Structure 1
Amino acid sequence: MEHYLYLLINFFTVIVCFIFSFHPKIQFSRYFKEFLWASLLVGIVFIAWDAWFTKIGVWWFNDKYLLGIRLFGLPIEELLFFICIPFSCVFTYFCLTTFFKLDWKPLPQNIFVIVCIAASLVISYFFRERIYTLMTFLSTAGSLFILHYILKVKWIGKVSFIYLLLMPGFLMVNGILTGTGLESPIVNYNPDEFIGLRILTIPVEDTVYGYELILWNIFFFELFRKTEKQPVVEVEA
């Protein structure tokens, strides 16, 4: 049964959201195609990143909790992670923004983005010899800059707030993956390649990695929703 653990984590992460996608007041099922295109595009980049880090030993996976099927050097469960986690997050984003007005005014979002970019750059510089820390914070700073200043999206603030609301679920899922409640972690990290600061058993870099993953999933999801003539990526005047 232990061999199914990572697979079950993916399943229970997505199943409730998937069922409620068909609710008549939500109808997220109408956007399955848009979500899949978004998750596949973003997944290509993150899977390549994941495979590279696995190859050079930044992290590795415990076969005790895996089916044993691998593609690109990654467990099949890890590939499914890049569909299941974004699905739950994008579904939550869709529901909350459908039923509640969570938009930020331009000034608070500008301040938030500037602070996040500056903090990310400082952290990536001071921990530049730790590749997970460097790559995660540097790429997140770049993503925020591109989304805010080049693509001029207006939803960074509300997505960040929703990500904060999702944090308990994130801590539960990533906690199990990194060893909370288990004899040994499903995902192991090279201590030389990250800061060493953990939330429970979760490297703090994971929270930033997840944030960047969701930002890009939502960007492409909203972009592809244009074909349905829905209000999508908002552009500043």
Structure 2
Amino acid sequence: MHYIYLFINIAVIFFPLVLSFDKKVHFFSKWKFVLPAIFITGVVFLIWDLLFVKLNVWSFNPGYIIGVQFFGLPLEEILFFLTVPYACIFIYECLNAYFPKDNLQKYSFSVSNLFLGLCIAILFFGYNRWYTVINFGFLFVVLAYVEYVNVKFRFMYKFYRAYLVSLIPFYIVNGFLTSIPVVMYNDKQNLGFRVGTIPFEDHFYLMGLLLMNVYLYELFKSRTNSLKTEV
């Protein structure tokens, strides 16, 4: 039973890792962009994670982790910020490879504004709950930056498409983590609304995590392409 969280991490990354050598997607050739994006985002979210443990926003069931910890976090939780982003960026690139058209890109800005408005509304009503405030505050900042400050490259239609597909494994993985439970939430620090056993905020935690990863991934790719153009 102590290996449950570790097995979940392995299951998350197994097929994306094996299929990274698919000839059409050729995902392994993009690791030089993927890994830095995951590392930088992972550092931010691990600091966030440590803060949440200190604030009793969530905790980890000792019966389902192997007991190895770094800086007070289970090894499995640290691996989570490698396996989940890798799988999600893999989904993002698969969709881009097999469905390259972006005819709906013109609607993505409106969708982003709806999410920004949602962030403001939820921050207003949940201002006294740590998970709600930090989660939606972070998403608001990153989303506003990508849409209003970043003007060099546009990818939000492709992002939203990947996010929607990522929700399928999200419900499976988070369903296990929250129903067993491996991760235990303090409902005094969130809105108290759940989809099944999954806190409402988790949906937007995934969005913020994926958005930062994809933005950095696209940023590193665009810089490399710019250097090639200059040469």
Matches of residues 171-210 of structure 1 in structure 2 within 5 Å?
171-179=171-179, 182=180, 185-210=181-206
Whole-angstrom distance in 2 between the partners of 1:166 and 1:227:
26
Q: Which amino acid aligns with 2:31?
A: F
Question: What residue is the counterpart of 1:64 in the other structure?
Answer: 63
Whole-angstrom distance in 1 between the partners of 2:45 and 2:120:
20
Whole-angstrom distance in 1 between the partners of 2:95 and 2:157:
14
Question: What residue is the counterpart of 1:89 in the other structure?
Answer: 88
Kept in 1, the 8 Å contact 2:105–2:156? The answer is no
Listed one character per residue, the Cα deviations across residues 21-70 of structure 1 (whole Å, up to 9, x for unaligned) are 01222211112232111100011111000011011211000010101011
Q: Which runs of 5+ in 1 are unaligned?
A: 231-237
**Is residue 224 of structure 1 aligned with residue 220 of structure 2?**
yes
Q: How many Å apart are 1:225 and its aligned residue?
A: 2.1
The worse-fitting range, judged by mean Cα deviation, of 5-14 and 154-163 is 154-163
Kept in 2, the 8 Å contact 1:59–1:188? The answer is yes
**Is residue 30 of structure 1 aligned with residue 26 of structure 2?**
no
Q: How many Å apart are 1:161 and its aligned residue?
A: 2.1
Whole-angstrom distance in 2 between the partners of 1:173 and 1:189:
16
Matches of residues 3-22 of structure 1 in structure 2 within 5 Å?
3-22=2-21
Q: How many Å apart are 1:126 and its aligned residue?
A: 0.9
Kept in 2, the 8 Å contact 1:102–1:158? The answer is no
Whole-angstrom distance in 2 between the partners of 1:59 and 1:41:
23
Q: How many Å apart are 1:227 and its aligned residue?
A: 5.8
Kept in 1, the 8 Å contact 2:13–2:84? The answer is yes
Q: How much identity, in percent, do the aligned residues show?
A: 35
Question: What residue is the counterpart of 1:214 in the other structure?
Answer: 210
Question: What residue is the counterpart of 1:233 in the other structure?
Answer: none
Whole-angstrom distance in 1 between the partners of 2:166 and 2:37:
20
Question: What residue is the counterpart of 1:101 in the other structure?
Answer: 100
Question: What residue is the counterpart of 2:229 in the other structure?
Answer: none
Whole-angstrom distance in 1 between the partners of 2:203 and 2:21:
29
Structure-1-length-normalised TM-score: 0.90
Q: Which amino acid aligns with 2:157?
A: G
Instruction: Give the secondary-structure state (helix, strand or coil) at the position aligned to 1:229.
Output: helix
Q: How many Å apart are 1:226 and its aligned residue?
A: 3.5
Q: Which amino acid aligns with 2:52?
A: F
Listed one character per residue, the Cα deviations across residues 123-162 of structure 1 (whole Å, up to 9, x for unaligned) are 1111101110111112111111000000134211321122
Distance 1:52 1:20, change over 3 A: same
RMSD (Å) for aligned C-alpha atoms: 1.5
Instruction: Give the secondary-structure state (helix, strand or coil) at the position aligned to 2:192.
Output: coil
Kept in 2, the 8 Å contact 1:104–1:155? The answer is no
Whole-angstrom distance in 1 between the partners of 2:136 and 2:224:
34
Instruction: Give the secondary-structure state (helix, strand or coil) at the position aligned to 1:216.
Output: helix
Structure-2-length-normalised TM-score: 0.93
Q: Which runs of 5+ in 2 are unaligned?
A: 227-231
Kept in 2, the 8 Å contact 1:112–1:157? The answer is no
What is the number of residues matched between the two proteins? Answer: 225
Distance 1:228 1:107, change over 3 A: closer
